[in-house]
Structure 1
Amino acid sequence: MKKKWTATLASFTLLTGLLAACSGAGNGGTAAPESAGASAGPGQTEKTTVQFWHSLGGKNGEYFDALIQRFNASHDDIEVVGTYQGSYDETVTKLQQAIPAGTAPDVSMLERAYVQMFADSEVLEDLTPYLESSGMSQDDFVPGLMGHSVFNDQLVSLPLNRSTPILYVNKTMLDEAGLKVPTTWEELKEVANALVVKENGEIKRYGVTMPYDTWYPLAMITQAGGTFFNEDKTSIGFGDNGVGVKVFSFLKDLQSTGALYYPPSQDSGNITNQMFVDGKVGLLYQSTGSMGGLDASVKFDYVAAFLPKDQQYANPTGGANVAMLSSSKNKEAAWEFIRWVMQDEEGGQQFILDSGYLPFTNKMVESQAIQDLWAAEPNRKVAFEQLQYAVDTNLDTGWPEIMKEFFSAMEAILYDSKDIPSTLEEFRKEAERILAE
């Protein structure tokens, strides 16, 4: 699928480029509209309009709208128009349609696992010269968040609203039971089982839960010494070595005793969060991005901790990066917006303080505002410190399609109790088929 999509996108891009050449249009296949730069009245500076697509709704969407307003208020010659395009997947779908049609935005938010797919299709601008012209370098960014930024020797995206999974612990519940925060799988198993409460054969309290997501099995695969893909990206890296069987057997053992509550796929994040808030579970695997909401909701003492390790600590990163489309006709203005978000205290730093996402530049990390935040809310610092164990082993343009197959395997095992080795073997075959296309 990766090559089919790439070829299709390339052919559409070529076609619109040829049409543009015939009609005298510029980059992207569509002539710049007369209104691309807002008309200036007497005494006013003409503004360049930068279209920015994003996937932030709810409270985080409000925080990012405020960021855009601050940028516009501080720039007389540029106006950024932010447009919510739905979920990460919906934004990707709309970009796939807009790029060949010549209607893509100047700048877009891209969920980090999709960046490679667009980079492989050569539709993202190399940001290296822009970074250098602004006196910046890749060394200015937190290393654990740069795993989805450089492809084909080009810097095609920069971290923005980034997160990792983390373990939330009802410390009050553990203290009452005389238990310690688990740091290993074995400790996790002991604590989760000890927290289970049953009445008349019905489970009233579970030990641990996690949303329906590939994130957590991905973390556990690496913790157990495996990788999602093998080194040459021809197959998975957790099959023949027994890592996959170990991971899912561990989860099924927890599930069989009532120690693990695995939620339905729909609205799983809200379900698991509410169970934690209501004291119906003591341990929660969840995104660092949930910290602000939990802070406002829990009525007990809770702490954030590293994901428990097996052979090693490891956790995948998540969230989105920001990228400039190579078809943009307003690249200078688009870069000024990206640069401001990266460097200005009123840009990305304020958004991080507001939202709870991870600081993504070293300057932010060292800022007094972030240091004061961590002193007041030490859980936020734990989330950042866990980045030293960040891993991204699902890097491949075939990941989006393979992810769907992995979800199917997870459902078969965790919902339908299908045989683990044979289910993972079927998944391996599907993954190899997709990777070979």
Structure 2
Amino acid sequence: MMKIFQRKISIPAYFIFIVLLFGLLGVYSVWGQGEVAKGTEVGDAASAAEAEPLVNEVKKVVWWHSMSGENGQVLDMLVTNFNAAHKDIKVEAVYQGSYFDSLTKLKASIGSKLGPTMIQVYDIGTRYMIDSKAVTPIETFVDQEKYDVSRMDKAILNYYRVENTLYSMPFNTSNPILYYNKDLFKAAGLNPDKPPVLYTDLAQTAKKLTKDGVSGAYFGSHSWYMEQLIANQGAELVNVGNGRDGRATEWQLNGEAGVKALTWWKELVDSKAAMYSATKSDEFKKVFAEGKVAMIFDTTAALRDILHSVDGKFEVGTGFFPKPTDEGGGVVVSGASNWIMNSKSDAEQQAAWAFMKYLSEPEQQAFFHVNTGYFPITEKAYELPIVQENMKQFPQFKTAIDQHNAAKRNLATQGGVLGVYPEARKLTDNAIGQALSGQKSPQEALDAATLEINAKIDVYNKALK
């Protein structure tokens, strides 16, 4: 058989046949190796990624946030700069509406793949985020790489540290301050460099400023102000160590400190020295910028926006939040922090952590501070020329920082932690409106709100069990 085969195939043809045969074997060998390599890549994807991530792999981080307007533009610049410097990570910042709206959307997304990698949550969402079991505590990343948190503001860290665990990374920090029209102060014979702090002084000042179509004050009707007014008296918002020694069971805003604050506020309105509106709009800022109101309360985060609105028509002064006596506690850390969701891959969570560290750098905090009014969470930011020069040009930026540093460090100023805090705040908003409009006395309004809030706390705590 071999002889017949040899006689029928010429030498060149036989040679070509051998070459083709070995070529096919080579192709099969290469293909087989490729399949083995491919099988290894699929089968051991997790271990391979842990051993050595692909250099060209881009990890996407979806960041839900609640920064709009000028503050949102500043945030977008931070994201753009980070993406330009990190080719292996792409952060996509997605505005989700107000803090309340964003948290509501997050609650709906938990358990699905629709949620973000990380989310900016306001301070009062802390207890819910912990109880959701849907987050990876920041303490995990801090411990893994021995990240130094000592360079960050201790009081700010302590707000987001619950049961000795840092659950989220502080980002934008604020507190409420008094804004006032220095020109109107001068016209009324008042010292424009000495804003009132005590209740009695502020009431007298408001009465002197109320004339010629100008109202002395316009404070809106926000629960946040009431919460700060009782902390400034050293009183705790909820029981069980302000919710830090265990899960809170009772809302305490209807106690002596709360009633005292709301009674003072109502007296201001009743005397016509302060305006009151049932709407939750930003009308108070508009009339302040027009020179029709001499004093308002607002967050320090609104400082840059207010200065732009006034646009040099008069000199804007800033002062500490009021209190009844020189004794007391201080204001509570407010603002928001960033949380990492545990439903995402380790690589995606690590990318989010890298972005969080970037946001906490002195340079980024300094940039965010001078362009918004939020004060830095990193102490070294104050040493940078951009911050020092801004302080010289706009000394108003220093007020919130001085007020923060002057606060006594105790459970009252550390802030309350509560699972139904957003709902409690809405009920308190209504109570303030009822008291200021005369529908109920301050005690009656706060008692009624407290009754409803405590019922919600009870339902929430039972659901967790």
Which residue type is aligned with residue 250 of structure 2?
Answer: S
1:380 shift after superposition: 0.4
Q: Pick one of 410, 423, 436 that aligns with 1:401.
A: 423
Q: Pick one of 250, 265, 273 that aligns with 1:251.
A: 265
Residues 1:217 and 2:226 aligned together: yes
Which residue type is aligned with residue 62 of structure 2?
Answer: Q
TM-score (norm 1): 0.83
1:254 shift after superposition: 0.6
| Equivalent runs, 1:5-154 vs 2, <5 Å | 45-154=56-165
Q: Is the 8 A contact 1:148 1:157 kept in 2?
A: no
Distance in 1 (alpha carbons) for counterparts of 2:319 and 2:74: 26
In structure 2, what is the equivalent of residue 371 of structure 1?
388
In structure 2, what is the equivalent of residue 192 of structure 1?
206
Once structures 1 and 2 are overlaid, which stretch shifts more, 157-166 or 313-322? 313-322
Q: Is the 8 A contact 2:266 2:436 kept in 1?
A: yes
> Which SS does the other structure have where 2:416 is aligned?
coil
Q: Is the 8 A contact 1:182 1:308 kept in 2?
A: yes
Distance in 1 (alpha carbons) for counterparts of 2:95 and 2:57: 26
Distance in 2 (alpha carbons) for counterparts of 1:414 and 1:178: 29
Q: Is the 8 A contact 1:127 1:155 kept in 2?
A: yes
Q: Is the 8 A contact 1:108 1:322 kept in 2?
A: yes
1:131 shift after superposition: 2.5
- Relative distance call for 1:264 and 1:431 in structure 2 (3 A) is closer
> Which SS does the other structure have where 1:397 is aligned?
coil
Q: Is the 8 A contact 1:170 1:282 kept in 2?
A: yes
| Equivalent runs, 1:225-236 vs 2, <5 Å | 225-231=234-240, 233-236=248-251
1:163 shift after superposition: 1.3
* Runs of 5+ consecutive residues of structure 1 not aligned to the other structure: 1-31, 33-39, 199-203
- Relative distance call for 1:138 and 1:116 in structure 2 (3 A) is farther
> Which SS does the other structure have where 2:150 is aligned?
helix
- Relative distance call for 1:224 and 1:46 in structure 2 (3 A) is closer
Residues 1:422 and 2:444 aligned together: yes
* Runs of 5+ consecutive residues of structure 2 not aligned to the other structure: 1-45, 47-53, 242-247, 460-465
Q: Is the 8 A contact 1:123 1:325 kept in 2?
A: yes
In structure 2, what is the equivalent of residue 411 of structure 1?
433
Once structures 1 and 2 are overlaid, which stretch shifts more, 61-70 or 256-265? 256-265
TM-score (norm 2): 0.78
In structure 1, what is the equivalent of residue 38 of structure 2?
none
| Equivalent runs, 1:157-176 vs 2, <5 Å | 157-176=168-187
Q: Is the 8 A contact 2:176 2:297 kept in 1?
A: yes
Q: Is the 8 A contact 2:64 2:119 kept in 1?
A: yes
Which residue type is aligned with residue 85 of structure 1?
Answer: Q
Q: Is the 8 A contact 2:253 2:450 kept in 1?
A: no
| Equivalent runs, 1:259-338 vs 2, <5 Å | 259-267=273-281, 269=282, 271-298=283-310, 299-311=313-325, 312=328, 314-329=330-345, 330-338=348-356
Which residue type is aligned with residue 268 of structure 2?
Answer: L
In structure 2, what is the equivalent of residue 13 of structure 1?
none
1:147 shift after superposition: 4.2
1:108-136 deviation per Cα after TM superposition (whole angstroms, max 9, x unaligned): 11111102201122212122242245553
1:266-322 deviation per Cα after TM superposition (whole angstroms, max 9, x unaligned): 31x2x1111111111111111101111222232112211111222335223322111
- Relative distance call for 1:239 and 1:81 in structure 2 (3 A) is closer
1:145 shift after superposition: 2.2
Distance in 2 (alpha carbons) for counterparts of 1:133 and 1:399: 32
> Which SS does the other structure have where 2:424 is aligned?
helix
Distance in 2 (alpha carbons) for counterparts of 1:212 and 1:374: 31
Aligned length: 389
1:363-419 deviation per Cα after TM superposition (whole angstroms, max 9, x unaligned): 212323222221222110112111122824432112122222212211211234312
In structure 2, what is the equivalent of residue 361 of structure 1?
378
Distance in 2 (alpha carbons) for counterparts of 1:223 and 1:140: 27
- Relative distance call for 1:102 and 1:132 in structure 2 (3 A) is same
Which residue type is aligned with residue 333 of structure 1?
Answer: A
Distance in 2 (alpha carbons) for counterparts of 1:65 and 1:148: 26
> Which SS does the other structure have where 2:133 is aligned?
coil
> Which SS does the other structure have where 2:196 is aligned?
coil
> Which SS does the other structure have where 1:236 is aligned?
coil
1:196 shift after superposition: 1.0
- Relative distance call for 1:169 and 1:144 in structure 2 (3 A) is farther
> Identity over the aligned pairs, expressed in percent?
26
Distance in 2 (alpha carbons) for counterparts of 1:113 and 1:392: 12
- Relative distance call for 1:313 and 1:378 in structure 2 (3 A) is farther
1:65 shift after superposition: 1.1
1:188 shift after superposition: 0.3
Distance in 2 (alpha carbons) for counterparts of 1:120 and 1:290: 31
> Which SS does the other structure have where 1:228 is aligned?
coil
Which residue type is aligned with residue 228 of structure 1?
Answer: L
Residues 1:183 and 2:197 aligned together: yes
- Relative distance call for 1:435 and 1:382 in structure 2 (3 A) is same
